[in-house]
Structure 1
């Protein structure tokens, strides 16, 4: 025995100092003891133990006046215990995968395997046994990090932080212990010296065959063990905390590509995530530690049973969640400036759209995990609980020239495999300067940024309620007209010699569209439809026509004194509606997918909100423009005039239509 002692001590010293390239820094978590202090103390202790005649005074490992001498050396050890060894319970466990039987030991509230794991992996595991233990039944196998996290399963991958707890290659019901769990064990069974350093824990955990007391039945025959915890909680650190059981015990950072270490599994008492049991779902964002998953809509994809409401639009998959329908229209990464590409009937989502989705699936702390796909994420995979199936595609940097409306996309790809972003429309400014940011390691957030390009998901939702009744003057006696083509009935009014529809036309022609506002994909019932100039020419029903520029001039001369909007605008838009024209700021479209100018009284906080009305005339101004009536009213401006807008090109205008009766009236005929 005495011949083996120097070799053992040299081995322990070598392993304890094997991480000199990356010692713990002073600002590390208190639970990770300083390896440099430990190495220094271990070296002194080893040196003193080599001399069997060393006195207690000179021994750096003597820490208690109430001590007994070790039978194997002059080293003295404490007989004080925080946990009475007599309370330890022992048992056995059979790994169903290979029939291997392991001893177990319960120390306090922790149950550990009392033997190193000996489960053979396809690669990165190694047996270092001697001729008497060819199957590694005594010491177990040495593993690389890639092997213990079970990278092949896709749940955790090398060189990144893995969301704890991690089962890895431990049997079902067991998992890789965390740094804190090792620290708890070491703290409970060790004592502290005057500097607060834990001592004797290693001696108490090691087997008697490995120069320990093994008073707790942990029976360690090896020195270094993996934990599941990243060294500095930074995904680029590529270091993992390991537990080291020299004469004393401590925790230190080791590179993920550290040659090999052993693994002790701990019994997993953490409830398995179960989407049917919200209490088992937790967020990995440190700011959401105590958050509770409370979805407004139950998940539809649970444990392989997928009952989500899928659909298809133009060959693209759609998914319905609550009142919203989303479409992965194109996985191309778009510049934020140039993202007005949703098809007819769909829109680029704004912050309120995203907020509705996030609240439906359980709030920002859980949305990324609920909506992310079940594989492919380096930052931890999601549940895909609602069929949204977001994949990690990252984003590009961009250079924008707003005046020339062009963008130059950078070559560098950011956070691929760890994050993805989506274009978000700014509700108030109708611009694209937001990104919805998804990373399964973080909570959902919107980022104001026009320097990056992002993915595009389109959205549509429940049609808006008909609020047209709020546009009318309750004290005015309207006429009525029914369009024989579709049976829709419109209110009418006579102003001077003209008889007008008192509502915007809502006849569905081939290329007409509905205004796409913040909440709904369709306001047609209230605002009427928006038409291209070409389509507007033949949109009015028999007996009515699209007014000319001159006929708009006539309207203003009889109904708008000094070209002020007050007599024509509805009370909904701060007018008096003197003649029952009931004009509203219904907005317009630039192209068929980018809309602005609708004044929503419920959403606007002040009168100066940017809304407008634009009605097509039948009079062209040039080959690419045509006249129309433009009206705008706020607390600082009152505008009513015949202006003009684009009639062709990708960004041609889509505007409202007010039909004029073919008959001219005079005072007697009224």
Structure 2
């Protein structure tokens, strides 16, 4: 006990030298928020305060970093208060913490002589593992709508037979529950390991004894750490990517990111959307190995793998009274929860896109409809029960889109399709690759059950996700298919320039197939009047997009969005 008191007194003395997650020095390590989703510098740090991978054949884990961070420093009185709290917590440790520490130390000594290897924990559909045979978390804090729809996946950690729900958030796959694997220097709250998971000293979280408080161990950006095989402790940059993915892409100052990440239940606030299923709970933190648990029910804390210096590392926080999230440096000596993210090498790949064929017209009979998709994107699949055709799908923001153009043509089952759909140039080979072109009347009825033709507003939401009509095209266009200016397709929408079918009124309703390789046209469900309806146009000549009305008798592609 005396050793622990001395140790944490030493922690308190050294905390003032801790620097922030960014590059600038700070005199207050505990309260130095890197407000990566707020443009307003705060004056105080109130510390007290799945998508399931079903039949997917391709995944994405390209993680981009964001270098721009804003920093804030608190008064030395705030630092003194928390340092005092840490010392007080050390001296008045609870019996449960002592018991947990003793159990963990024993576990470490008994397992140190035996090293086992485990297969990567692969994502399975939700409900794969029987909770009567395996250890499962409660699911009451997950997004219940997503849970009922089967949008969570799950993995089995073979080390202890613990089952975790998982969720796809754009180009990342995250555990939707905190890690609960017992190691040395990991702890549980008095009442609920199966709710909050375990709390780890940073050295335990990164699974490196030489990374203990006082040692700078210079870790690689994303090491496995305490996570199961195929998963790893996320870096600061991977959390920044998460903020981008649930906010406006390229703009982590979106002030509503916290509400999108907080669980709908378990918090005192009631504005939590949790639309992505991340379901963060207010875990709080632990005041040292022998200290009490603090802020449980008020804040989310989780470690990153990003080391700051010998005594500090970067952590992720959500507060109950703030709508933005934070990345903050703090002492390695405070045990915190862990959320794991899937390794990009664990994601299956599809064949690389056929970039050697630049123009769509060259692809006929050579390229399959899957080959133009981004091989690094996490796709799911939809089987159309009407004809058995399979379409890749992609969740982008809060919406789930088909990532391929619809190719349904049965006018017997869907009478509105009679004289209402065509293949480009009336050539069936184009339909195999690009899907069909529909007039607006047919397009309104053509999506399968559970899906619908997107409205003007739904197209606008997608467009706004990527910065609006000035720049959204670059993110939505496929990586191949045009003679020039193909897109990044970073989120897997993969819009191909399939052209359209047009009627020339001045030439006795002459039919013209135009703009193959130049434009992608998609119908919306929103009419302007009896003759015109709105469409999304993604031109390959620029990075722009536009939504405007066009004659309903023209033929355009259809992308369905999930109800």
Same fold (TM over 0.5): no
Compare CA radii of gyration and give the structure with the larger one: 1
Q: Which has the higher helix share?
A: 2
User: What TM-score do you get using the length of structure 2 for normalisation?
Assistant: 0.34
Q: Which has the higher strand share?
A: 1
User: What TM-score do you get using the length of structure 1 for normalisation?
Assistant: 0.29
